[in-house]
Amino acid sequence: MKLRLFFLSIFLVCSEAVFSQIVDDTILENLGYEAMSICMKKGRFSWIDSQYYACIDSGIAVYPFWYFYHLKAMPSIKMADYEGFVRNSEIACEKNPKWNDYFAYVSFYHMRDYVLTLKLLRKLDAQTPNWADIVMNDNILSIYGLCYSEMGKLDSAIIFFDSIIETKLDGKSKFYPTLYDYSNRGVVHLKLNNNLLAKKDFESTIKMYSQSVEGHYYLALTKYHLKEDANEIETLLKIALKSYDKGLKNNHPYGEYVDLPNQIWRSDIMNLYYKIKGIKTYEESTKVPISY
């Protein structure tokens, strides 16, 4: 009998660890839906009918049904559950294609799925022709340009950035062109070896935002390519570094969970600095802790 009890107690101790793991995994799956669960906890969440649900918090807010799936899709992608993201987005899209296509293409862009991003952009554009839709104050033309740029279709990318900068979207939005439209076009010019055009774009970026990391770093890089004054390049890099350390680099509001495809890093700034100083580039990657 004692032996049986002994075995049983060992079994229970060991099982506890296993079951707590299962419970934690379930939490991982479900807690991702944080935004939704705020409503659901303590009965502050209720269905009204098949079209709407209510979130009762410090009052009553009524949301359309599709928004529920949008809320489910949002944390799914941030938790890297791509299947869940697509499944929930598709349901939400059936109800409100415009909003959800917008969210979806931004997400697929950050997932580096440029083919699908472009497909969604074309679909969205067909629904609202002539670029009439500057949805959520975000310009889909710049995502077009960025996709083509990442796909290596640089001439196409230039066309889209030009259409924002040169036409200023015919005054459809006071927010465009942004400094990033200039810096993104500048990067494409840089890739195409159009250094003088790139220089002009980065100067415009700095004119719009005197602390721009992108503007200062890329202007320094362009001047380096053009073999311009090393002291000037050094000054630009120092400003870029200072701004970088202040956290002023470009961050897409919907992409905070991933690195931007064309992101600048501190090591990029430092490596260029070492280059102009004639110091051998430091192998930063040796500093990454990994066990063997």
Partner 1 sequence: MMKYYVLILFPCFLSAQQDFKLCDSTNWGTYFAKQYDQERYKVESKLIKEVILKEFTYPRDTNVTGYITIRYFIDCHGKSGKFSVLQVDENYKKTTFNPQVVESILNIVKRLDIHNLRKNFRKGKENELMDYFSFFSFKFKRGEIETILP
According to CB under 8 A, which one of 83, 155, 166, 170 is a site residue for partner 1? 83
Pick from 54, 111, 135, 276 the residue near partner 1 by CB under 8 A. 111
Contacts of partner 1 in 21-60 (CB under 8 A) = 21, 23-25, 27-28, 31
Contact (Cβ atoms closer than 8 angstroms) between residue 34 and residue 74: no
Segment near partner 1 (CB under 8 A), from 15-23, 63-71, 135-143, 152-160?
15-23
Whose Cβ is closer to partner 1: residue 168's or residue 266's? Answer: 266
**Comparison of 27 and 61: residue with beta carbon closer to partner 1:** 27
Which pair of tokens denotes residue 274? Answer: 């070492």
Count, residues near partner 1 per rule CB under 8 A? 47
Does residue 251 belong to the site contacting partner 1 (CB under 8 A)?
yes
Tell me the window of 2-10, 37-45, 53-61, 235-243 that interacts with partner 1 (CB under 8 A).
2-10
Identify the residue among 1, 5, 11, 105 touching partner 1 (CB under 8 A).
11
Restricted to residues 221-240, the positions that interact with partner 1 (CB under 8 A) are none
Paired tokens of 230: 């090393």
Do the bridges between strand 60-64 and strand 52-56 make them parallel or antiparallel, or are there none, so unpaired? antiparallel
Q: 54 has which bridge partners? A: 46, 62
- The answer to whether 103 touches 74, Cβ cutoff 8 Å, is yes
Closest separation between CB of residue 191 and partner 1, Å?
18
Residue whose CB is less far from partner 1, 112 or 225? 112
- For 260, the token pair is 């931007």
Residue 22 CB, shortest distance to partner 1, in Å, is 10
What is the smallest separation between the CB atom of 83 and partner 1, expressed in angstroms?
A: 5
d(CA 14, CA 205): 61
Mutual angle of helices 97-110 and 140-150, in 10-degree steps:
30
- Which of residues 107 and 178 has its CB atom nearest to partner 1 in the complex? 107
Q: Is 120 exposed, middle or buried (0-12, 13-18, 19+ CB in 10 A)?
A: buried
Q: Is 251 helix (H, G, I), strand (E, B) or coil?
A: coil
Is residue 56 within a helix (H) or strand (E), and if so which, with residue range?
strand 52-56
Return the CA Rg of the chain: 25
CA distance 52 to 196: 55
Q: Quote the Cα angle for 252-257-258, to 5°.
A: 75
Stretch that binds partner 1, among 66-74, 80-88, 165-173, 233-241 (CB under 8 A): 80-88
Across-strand partners of 61?
55
Residue 78 makes contact with partner 1 by CB under 8 A: yes
Instruction: Give the residues lining the site for partner 1 (CB under 8 A).
Output: 4, 7, 10-11, 14-15, 17-18, 20-21, 23-25, 27-28, 31, 78-83, 85-86, 110-113, 245, 247, 251, 256-259, 263, 265-267, 284-285, 287-292
